[in-house]
Amino acid sequence: MVEEDGMDLEEEEEEDYRSESRRKASTVFSVIASVLSGFLGNWACFKVSEMLNVPSQAFPAAGSQQRVAPAGQSRNKVVLKPGHSLLDWIRLTKSGQDLTGLRGRLIEVTEDELKKHNTKKDCWTCIRGMVYNLSAYMDFHPGGEEELMRAAGIDSTDLFDEVHRWVNYESMLKECLVGRMAVKPSPALQGLSAPPSLRPEPLSAPLPAKDHRPRYDWFQTDGTVNIVVYTKRKIPSAGCAVVDLQDDNLRVEMLLGRMSYLLYWRLSSRVQDHVDVQTAHSVGKVQLCLRKSVKEKWTQLGQSLEHHDTFIQCKDRGLFYRECVLLSKTDVTHNTQLLRLQLPPGSRMQVPVGRHVYLKTSVQGTDVVKPYTAVDQMLIPPSQSSAEVGSDIHLMIKVYPDGVLTPHIANLPIGASLSVGGPEGSLTLRVLRDVTHLYMLAAGTGFTPMARLIRLALQEFTVIRKMKLMFFNRQERDILWQSQLDELCTKEERFEVQHVLSEPADSWTGRRGRIDACMLQNFLERPENSKCLVCVCGPAGFTESAVQLVRQLDFSEEELHVFQA
């Protein structure tokens, strides 16, 4: 049944890419043609509201990279001038000021016209066929002016996807909307051509013999409908299934390394709103059981919805949101809380290790979205925590008094609802294969992805002989889960933690300062016959320094994993 059980993970991922390209090659023209017909059809009744509702994830740009940058490609954040926070930007967009210079008029923009607007004071860019004037946003961009100017006068869809495709730019930039890219005639598509971001990718290699795509089957009893997904690879204990039953729509996403397999139906008949998910990890099988509202025979499972039965890279899959309920908030430190969120009854989510989810909330009418890495309830839970069942999620959130989203979250009462999207992220367990020495360099809340990694490594990767965390914080009171880390150190010979404080009290006897070469030289040992992996996460500046220092110590790109959001 599971032919590829035990298949080499690297081969598997390469194969996934090839399969994906083949599928794209065979479908891309028909998809583009159908979208273009809709695109042009709508053009006649071109209204702002419709324009802002662009199906943003339908056409990830061909060359777009993972949002979470590969090792070393960290992004800078600049210090914004006073009065240029996100909240200030939201205020400006609500002020009625003309931010496009077109007094609310929406225009059709040609490629030649777009190219002309390439200066700081007159900066237009195109994202997924829509053109925005970014000039007013220049000083508000957390990545700085230079970064934003990379998008000036061009179609920046790829660039945007590469850096932060999760940002709700339609909402953030709605007052900057200039109009749509003009569609220019092309003989290739019956006289029509797609805007640059919708262009097909080149055709790729022919079909190889083996099919590594997951597949599914279903069967029913009098009272239940059962869907079985054969992922054709082993599933880690943290799971891979994300299930959302909303009204009669059932969405099932399998997160398999860098790939995502989606099943999506409008069910034939009503079911109760609880979904039972069972995973047979070693054989790669996930079985869902739904209870019929009425005991009757179904002639079919349902009607396929958008992107049903597609197997594509996770980064190219649209984010799906569900409303969760805040169940509890526990103080972790003086400014960091552990939130427990309950998924709706029809949802089950097993967030793979190192992945994050998105919290979305509306601040003064503008959607604000931020990523948060899922953690467990504790570093090493004594028994199975409820999160493993996939009915709730734990997030560790540091409250920044001048932040937009975190003070809002901190003030939410228990029982409040929060929109949760994802999960997403770049960590695939392939990077841990054969690793004997796992090093983690974490600063502040950059510890969160490490927390689950430590647990996973201890429980499932027996080949790892040593796991060392160097944890950078300002003061001792900022150290997350300090007592749990210390406890783990005493219990687990393989685990070691070193704390470094940048603003220690005089009484602190441990290490002091910021990350430097000297600290890492001794910490990152490379014993004979070892295979090392260094994971880095923290503020952008920290990450950048850490990556540089690790490289200087001759660690290769394969030996480095950077968590970035």
> Which residues would be at the binding site for ligand NAP (CB under 6 A)?
356, 373, 398, 443-446, 448-449, 472-474, 478, 502-503, 514-515, 537-539, 541-542, 545, 563-565
Provide, rounded to whole angstroms, the least separation between the CB of residue 370 and ligand NAP.
8
Provide CB contacts within 8 A for 361, sequence distance 6+. Answer: 367, 368, 405, 408, 409, 418, 419
| φ, ψ dihedrals at 398, nearest 5° | -90, 130
Instruction: Please identify which residue in the block is written with the tokens 């490490």.
Output: 450
Nearer to ligand NAP, 344 or 541 (CB): 541
Nearer to ligand NAP, 324 or 441 (CB): 441
Nearer to ligand NAP, 95 or 521 (CB): 521
CB burial of 301-334 (b: ≥16 within 10 Å; e: otherwise) equals bbeeeebeebbbbbbbbebbbbebebeebeebbe
Give the Cβ contact number of residue 344 at 10 Å: 17
Nearer to ligand NAP, 74 or 135 (CB): 74
Nearer to ligand NAP, 337 or 545 (CB): 545
Q: Specify which residues 438 forms β-bridges with.
A: 467, 533
Nearer to ligand NAP, 70 or 539 (CB): 539
Output helix, strand, coil percentages for the chain, rounded to the nearest 5.
25, 30, 45
Amino acid at 102: L
Provide, rounded to whole angstroms, the least separation between the CB of residue 309 and ligand NAP.
30
Q: Are 369 and 166 in contact (CB under 8 A)?
A: yes
Provide, rounded to whole angstroms, the least separation between the CB of residue 119 and ligand NAP.
30
Nearer to ligand NAP, 429 or 443 (CB): 443
Q: Specify which residues 443 forms β-bridges with.
A: 472
Q: Are 270 and 298 in contact (CB under 8 A)?
A: no
Provide, rounded to whole angstroms, the least separation between the CB of residue 201 and ligand NAP.
28
Provide, rounded to whole angstroms, the least separation between the CB of residue 480 and ligand NAP.
9
Provide, rounded to whole angstroms, the least separation between the CB of residue 420 and ligand NAP.
16
Q: How far apart are CA 42 and CA 51, in angstroms?
A: 9
Question: Where on the phi/psi map is residue 390: left (φ > 0), alpha (ψ -120 to 50), or beta?
Answer: left
Nearer to ligand NAP, 19 or 564 (CB): 564
Both structure tokens of 256 = 């398999």
Provide, rounded to whole angstroms, the least separation between the CB of residue 442 and ligand NAP.
8
Nearer to ligand NAP, 166 or 542 (CB): 542
Burial of residue 40, with CB atoms counted within 10 A of its CB: 0-12 exposed, 13-18 middle, 19 or more buried:
exposed
What single string gives the DSSP state of each residue in 240-297? Answer: -EEEEEETTEEEEEEEETTEEEEEEEEESS-EEEEEEEEEETTTTEEEEEEEESS---
Provide, rounded to whole angstroms, the least separation between the CB of residue 358 and ligand NAP.
12
Provide, rounded to whole angstroms, the least separation between the CB of residue 355 and ligand NAP.
9
Provide, rounded to whole angstroms, the least separation between the CB of residue 453 and ligand NAP.
11
**How much is the CA Rg of the chain, to the nearest whole Å?**
24
Provide CB contacts within 8 A for 119, sequence distance 6+. Answer: 152
Nearer to ligand NAP, 177 or 515 (CB): 515
Q: Specify which residues 421 forms β-bridges with.
A: 321, 358
